[in-house]
Amino acid sequence: MKARIPNQGGQANMMKKLQQMQDDMARIQKECEEAQYTASSGGGAVEVTVNGSHQLVSVKIQPDVVDSEDVEMLEDLLVASVNEAMRKADETMEREMGKITGGLNIPGLGL
């Protein structure tokens, strides 16, 4: 006597859903990587923009922040701005992927 597997059509439906999820994830990943994320520090004295691939796109520095006697402050403002922009990019990717996966921890996504 053979075991009867109920609802074999359900497997095909599940595969379709998984493929759609994979397609959606690839689309969201591409959109997030192409998007730009801006952050500033020092009350807007330094502003940086990065993309979702963690590449620095632009840096804007207000002239009054440039002080040859205090280069360390400018360096600190740059680091703070870049880190904040990268955090924004990461949070956006996690949030958008979470919408698709429903919070599932899928190995290999690096989230």
Q: Is 33 contained in some domain?
A: yes
Residue that wins the pLDDT comparison between 36 and 10: 36
Query: Structural domain tally of the chain?
Result: 1
Query: Is residue 3 domain-resident?
Result: no
> Is residue 4 in some structural domain?
no
pLDDT at 5 over 60: no
pLDDT per residue as tens digits for the range 41-50: 999 999 999 9
Quick one: CA torsion of 28, 32, 35, 37, rounded to 10 degrees?
150
- Region 8-35: mean pLDDT is 87
Query: SS3 for 7?
Result: coil
Q: Domain range holding 34?
A: 11-100
Q: Which two tokens stand for residue 40?
A: 């500033």
pTM over 0.85: no
23 touches 31 (CB < 8 A): no
For residue 65, being part of any structural domain is answered with yes
Give a yes or no: residue 107 inside a domain: no
CATH number of the domain to which 18 belongs: 3.30.1310.10
- Helix/strand/coil for 37: strand
